[in-house]
A and B are shown apart, each in its own frame.
Chain A
Amino acid sequence: MSHSTDYIGKPTNRVDGPAKVAGTAKYAAEFNVPNLLYGYVVSSPIAKGKITKIDAAPVLALPGVQQVFSHENVPSLAWLDRSYKDDVAPGGSPFRPLHDAEIKFSQQPVALVVADTFELARYAASILHIEYEEEAHETELVKHIDEAYEPGRGKTGYKPPKSRGNFGKGWKQGVAHMEAQYSHHAQHHNPMEMFASTVEWLGDKKLNIYDKTQGAFNSQQYVMKVFGLSKDQARVVSKYTGGGFGSGLRPQYQLFLAVLASLELQRSVRVSLTRQQMFSFGHRPETLQHVALATAEDGSLTGINHFAVAETSQFEDFTENVVGWSGTLYDCKNVSLGYRLSKLDVYTPLDMRAPGAASGSIALEIAMDEMAYAAGLDPLEFRIRNYSDFDQAQDLPYSSKALRKCYAEGAAKFGWDRRTATPGSMRDGKLLVGWGMGGGIWDASKQPAVAKASLDADGHLTVSSGTNDIGTGTYTIMTQIAAQSMGLPLDAVTFVLGDTELPEAPVQGGSWTAASIGNSVVEACTKLGEALLKQAQKMDHPAFKDAKIDDVEFANGQLRLRADATQAVVLRDLVQASGEPKMEAENSTTLAKLELLKPPTHSMHAHNAVFVEVKVDPELMTVHVTRVVNAVAAGRILNPKTARSQVMGSVVWGISSALMEESVMDHRFGRYMNHNYAEYHVPVNADIHDIDVIFVSEEDDKVNPLGVKGIGEVGLLGVAAAVTNAIYHATGQRVRDLPVTIDKLL
Chain B
Amino acid sequence: MSIVCTDLAKVYEGGKSGWPALRGLSFEIRRGEFVAVTGPSGCGKSTLLNILGLLDEPTGGVYSLNGRDAGAMSDSERSALRLGEIGFVFQAFHLLNRLSALDNVCLPLLYAGEYGAGMRHRASELLRKVGLHGKERKTPLELSGGERQRVAIARALANSPKIILADEPTGNLDSVSSGEIMEMLRQLNSEGITVVMVTHDLGLAGRAGRNIRIRDGRIEP
Q: Do A and B come together as binding partners?
A: no
